[in-house]
Structure 1
Amino acid sequence: MIFSYNKDAVGDTLMVIVANAKGQEVNHESRGSITRVFVKNTKETVGWNFFKISSTLTDLVGKGQIDLTDEQLTALNHLLAAEGFSEQVSIDRTPKIVTGFVKSCKAHPDSDHLSITQTEVDHGEVLQIVCGAPNIKAGLKVVVAKPGAMMPDGLIIWPGELRGQESHGMICSARELAVPNAPTARGILELPFDTEIGEAFIGSDYQL
């Protein structure tokens, strides 16, 4: 689940993204200050909006994706139960934007500019990621936004396909990561080769 709060931009609302609706028609139901967003046909919950949330979570701050404490999560679930919702929200604390290693890279069979990579993201976990950067190649240390990541600009990364090839994440540029003084030219961010694989990456803290 992705938790996002930006009072200046969207008001005093905590948004919780649970799943990708995948273009399906969605509906919503509201009880009190909570709205549940769900796929119309399957009834699967894809999101929650907690309105006037600062009246419950008085210490909530943020300008985009945020990490909730265990105490804040418990308070949200108490709100859900109090309004008669049977579902609960949970937190996956594993980092979603991490350092990775491009183990292999080959040309996409149906594109003259895309490449298909096998990229390790942590302890042997390898993701197939289709990448269009001109500087992608095997042997690079890179930054990977895994499925479920929210980028600094609010884009959410979901599994998908590019020209018929599965892609489970995004290999990122410095600009996409909001790295200070990021170049405007196309291309992924290349990290020093001694970078540890699987480490959480925060673009605003990185120095080019």
Structure 2
Amino acid sequence: MDVFYNPAGIGDVLIMPIEQAADRYDVTHKSIGPITKILGKDNNILGYNIFQASLHFDLQETGKIRLTEELLDQIKQLFNQYELNDSLDFDLSPKFVVGYVLEKKQHENADKLSVCQVDVGNEVLQIVCGAANVDKNQKVVVAKNGAIMPSGLKIKPTKLRGVPSNGMICSKKELGLPQKPEEKGIYVLDASYQAGDEFAF
């Protein structure tokens, strides 16, 4: 999970996105001390903005920052200080990892979809993929459930034409990376990558 801190651009505020709003116009805010809770239509928590962040946290980096256990503990202490009892038990394991395609089969209900079994190190995920260039024995970038894409989309378990899919095999474009016109489809990695390793971008 990533948080964002850009004091030169938006001020001394730590941004913690949790979920994308279904309707960006139907959002409310609730402030408790320096903490602003951002709520969606059904009072689901979309994220938090923590103002005067430099007074509460030792932030050595700017931009996109990995939420570590240490930083999360500091955030929990701040929440406790202001008697904000929201659960902050986030899964901090990497959400963008290297995957190895063990198997590719034709989707039974869609000509342009493939059902892939992808080794991501500690488990094998079934991922339905629509890219024409996906194939067995490739190393690829997998956005696991819980990953937040650069577009703001949160990856969740789903069914595509009736087949369960857990995660997404990514293209360079979906990762916000430069992509040449001839590089259509998923981002195929070279052999030096290891399945299960975090993919940093």
Q: Please indicate the TM-score interval, normalised by the length of the shorter structure.
A: 0.7 to 0.9
TM-score, length-scaled by structure 2: 0.78
**Residues 35-184 of structure 1 aligned to structure 2 (within 5 Å):** 35-38=36-39, 41=42, 45-64=45-64, 66-90=65-89, 92-123=91-122, 125-152=123-150, 154-179=152-177, 182-184=179-181
Task: Measure, in 1, the Cα distance between the counterparts of 2:154 and 2:12.
Answer: 21
Task: Measure, in 2, the Cα distance between the counterparts of 1:39 and 1:182.
Answer: 34
Contact 1:54–1:60 at 8 Å: present in 2 too? no
Secondary structure at the aligned position of 1:122 is classed as coil
Residues 80-130 of structure 1, C-alpha deviations (whole Å, 9 max, x = no match): 11222123534534221111111222223343322221211113x111212
Report the alpha carbon displacement of residue 154 of structure 1 after superposing the two structures with TM.
4.5
TM-score, length-scaled by structure 1: 0.76
**Residue number in structure 2 paired with 1:32:** 33
Residues 121-163 of structure 1, C-alpha deviations (whole Å, 9 max, x = no match): 113x111212111101222121111112233455432333333
Residues 45-98 of structure 1, C-alpha deviations (whole Å, 9 max, x = no match): 44222123233225253323x124544333312221122212353453422111
Task: Measure, in 2, the Cα distance between the counterparts of 1:107 and 1:139.
Answer: 16
Alignment length (residue pairs): 199
Secondary structure at the aligned position of 1:149 is classed as coil
**Residue number in structure 2 paired with 1:201:** 199
Secondary structure at the aligned position of 2:120 is classed as strand
Report the alpha carbon displacement of residue 2 of structure 1 after superposing the two structures with TM.
4.2
Contact 2:96–2:143 at 8 Å: present in 1 too? yes
Task: Measure, in 2, the Cα distance between the counterparts of 1:50 and 1:72.
Answer: 13
Secondary structure at the aligned position of 2:137 is classed as coil
**One-letter amino acid matched to 2:199:** F
Root mean square deviation of aligned Cα? 3.1
Contact 2:20–2:153 at 8 Å: present in 1 too? no
Task: Measure, in 2, the Cα distance between the counterparts of 1:40 and 1:30.
Answer: 17
Task: Measure, in 2, the Cα distance between the counterparts of 1:136 and 1:19.
Answer: 29
List gaps (5 residues or longer) in structure 1: 204-208
- Percent identity of the aligned residues? 39
